[in-house]
C-alpha cells in the first residue's frame, strides 16, 4: 500500500510540497519549479498548488511579507527586495514594504553605511563617495536615499 502511494504522482506532489512549506514560506512559482524539478506533470502540480492556496497553506502575499521583512533585517533596500520578489513570481509590493517611509529607508541606508564604512565625510573624496554609493545602490537603495545616506556624518542624525 505505502509503495503504491509513493508511485502516485499526486501523492508525491502533495507530500513534497507540504514538506517544503513546512520548512519555510514559498511563492507559488518557487514551489512549482521545485516540483517540476522532481519530474512531476504540470497538471498535477497546478492542481495541488490550487488546492494548497484554497486551504491557505500557500499564499504569495504572506510569502512576500515574510521575505521582505527578512531582507529588510539584512540591510537590503526596497528596489532590491522588489526585484527579488519579482524573480520569485510575486509582482505586487508587500504591505510591510509600503509602510516604510522614504525617510526610514534613508535612515536604514545611513546605518548600513555606518556599519560598513563609518560616517567619515566623503564629499571631498569622489572615489570613496562613489565606492560607498555603489555599495548602497547594489543593496537596493534609490539614488535619493543613497545621496542622503552619504550626507550623514553625525551618528546623532541617524
Residue 93: the pLDDT is: 93
Determine contact, residues 109/76, Cβ cutoff 8 Å. Answer: no
Q: Residue 94: count other Cβ atoms within 10 Å of its Cβ.
A: 21
pLDDT at 154: 81
CATH 3.90.1420 fits 102-157, yes or no: no
Assessment of whether the complete model's pTM goes beyond 0.75: yes
Which pLDDT score, from 0 to 100, does residue 5 have?
A: 62
Cell numbers at residue 14, please? 502533495
Residue 158 pLDDT: 64
Sites in the chain below the pLDDT cut of 50 = 1
2-58 topology per CATH: Arc Repressor Mutant, subunit A (1.10.10)
Inter-residue long-range contacts of 48-53, CB under 8 Å, 24+ positions, other chains counted: 48/10, 48/13, 48/14, 48/17, 49/17, 52/17, 52/18, 52/21, 53/28
pLDDT score of 1: 46
Compute the 3-state secondary structure of the chain and give helix, strand, coil in percent, each to the nearest 5.
70, 0, 30
Closest to 35 measured CA to CA, from 54, 58, 68, 55: 58
Amino acid at each position: 500500500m505505502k509503495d503504491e502511494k509513493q508511485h502516485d504522482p499526486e501523492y508525491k506532489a502533495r507530500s513534497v510540497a507540504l514538506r517544503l512549506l513546512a520548512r519555510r514560506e514559498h511563492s507559488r512559482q518557487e514551489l512549482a519549479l521545485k516540483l517540476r524539478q522532481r519530474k512531476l506533470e504540470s497538471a498535477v502540480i497546478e492542481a495541488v498548488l490550487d488546492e494548497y492556496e484554497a486551504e491557505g497553506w500557500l499564499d504569495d502575499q504572506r510569502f512576500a511579507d515574510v521575505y521582505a521583512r527578512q531582507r529588510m533585517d539584512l540591510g537590503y533596500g526596497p528596489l532590491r527586495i522588489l526585484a527579488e520578489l519579482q524573480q520569485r513570481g510575486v509582482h505586487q509590493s508587500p504591505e510591510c514594504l509600503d509602510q516604510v517611509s522614504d525617510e526610514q529607508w534613508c535612515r536604514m541606508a545611513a546605518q548600513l553605511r555606518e556599519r560598513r564604512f563609518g560616517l567619515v565625510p566623503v564629499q571631498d573624496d569622489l572615489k570613496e563617495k562613489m565606492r560607498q554609493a555603489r555599495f548602497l545602490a547594489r543593496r537596493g537603495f534609490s539614488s535619493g536615499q543613497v545621496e542622503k545616506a552619504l550626507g550623514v556624518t553625525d551618528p546623532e542624525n541617524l
